[in-house]
Amino acid sequence: MTFLDKLENSWKSSKSLVCVGLDPDRSRIPEHLSKDADVIFSFNKAIIDATADLACAFKPQFAYYAGQNALGSLRKTITYLRQSYPDIPVILDVKRGDIGPTATMYAREAFDIYKADAVTVNPYMGGDTLRPFLEDASQGVFVLCRTSNPGSVDFQDLRVQGDGRRLFEIVAHKAASEWNHNRNVALVAGATFPEDLGCIRSIVGDMPLLVPGVGAQGGEVAAVLRQGLDSRKEGLIINSSRGILYAGRGTDFASRAREATILLRDEINSLR
């Protein structure tokens, strides 16, 4: 089964476009977990168990594990997901992008070491740097296109001389054509620029779009759905991290996370 097959099945079975971002911050994890041997994994496991039936995907952000010397917790988290919830796709958010042999090692890291179903990559250094990630048609590759941060306008909005299109539009065109020979490419398109999200959708058709920026970053669900849904009223993986993970800070944190996920799922479904 390819990543796209798995994602489409998950959209249907969960009746959800919500992706739960697993970005654990030790300083925000409830105190009653502090004595656990692996605090981060214990926190993640509780969040996963509370939200698995409501999520179309889970997205661990690599930096939250590397920056806390917790890469073992990341591997345990993904192993737990694959063993306990094998039908839910795991997107490893690493935003890698480097030349040939180095990119090959990064691809091995994501797919062979951590066993992710899909990975995020940065296209800034060109299409050859994406090739090692794209070789296996069963694995998904989310290319950064229009990111949710304010500073994205510094480069992504620039019009290319002699072409006239903005840089993110060129990325979308390449993703939908020359990079997508294995039909395993998807894009990252932020909720904070909904009109640009609509532009991307018009370029790539029904390609999946991973959408960060809803909630804490100010992206609005209604605008995302209006601009980003595909022809089947699907096509979006709407990520929420902090809004779900830290909906509660006490012993009921997992049930509060579930409530927050239900609210987001129901808001999305009421508008599509």
- With contact defined as beta carbons under 8 Å apart, do 106 and 141 qualify? no
136 has pLDDT over 80:
yes
Measured distance CA(221)–CA(249) in Å, rounded: 25
| pTM for the predicted model, two decimal places | 0.96
- With contact defined as beta carbons under 8 Å apart, do 156 and 113 qualify? no
Please give the structure tokens belonging to residue 247. 């909906």
Residue 88: per-residue pLDDT:
98
Residue 238: per-residue pLDDT:
98
Residue 163: per-residue pLDDT:
86
Q: Give me the DSSP letters along 3-33.
A: HHHHHHHHHHHHT--EEEEE---GGGS-GGG
- Tell me the helices (H) and strands (E) count for the chain, helix number first: 12, 8
Range of the domain at 227: 3-271
Nearest CA-CA partner of 201 in 227, 168, 171, 224: 227
Mean pLDDT of the chain: 96
55 has pLDDT over 80:
yes
DSSP state of 246: T
DSSP state of 269: H
- With contact defined as beta carbons under 8 Å apart, do 7 and 140 qualify? yes
HSE, CB side, 13 Å, CA atoms: give it for residue 111. 23
Bridge-based pairing of strands 18-22 and 91-96 is: unpaired
Residue 28: per-residue pLDDT:
96
- Band (161; pLDDT cuts 50, 70, 90): confident
**Mean pLDDT for the stretch of residues 148-169:** 93
The helix-helix angle for 71-84 and 39-51 (nearest 10°) equals 30
- Band (234; pLDDT cuts 50, 70, 90): very high
Residue 102: per-residue pLDDT:
97
215 has pLDDT over 80:
no
**Mean pLDDT for the stretch of residues 9-33:** 97
The CATH number covering residue 217 comes to: 3.20.20.70
Which whole-number Å values give the CA distances from 162 to 65, 158, 177, in the listed order?
Answer: 43, 12, 20
- For the chain, the domain total comes to 1
- Which ranges of 128-246 does DSSP label H, i.e. alpha helix? 131-134, 153-156, 167-176, 194-204, 221-228, 242-245
- With contact defined as beta carbons under 8 Å apart, do 119 and 161 qualify? no
Residue 72: per-residue pLDDT:
98
- Band (219; pLDDT cuts 50, 70, 90): confident
216 has pLDDT over 70:
no
Catalytic residue numbers, as ranges: 95
Residue 179: per-residue pLDDT:
97
Q: Give me the DSSP letters along 66-123.
A: HTTT-HHHHHHHHHHHHHH-TTS-BEEEEEE---HHHHHHHHHIIIIIS--SEEEE--
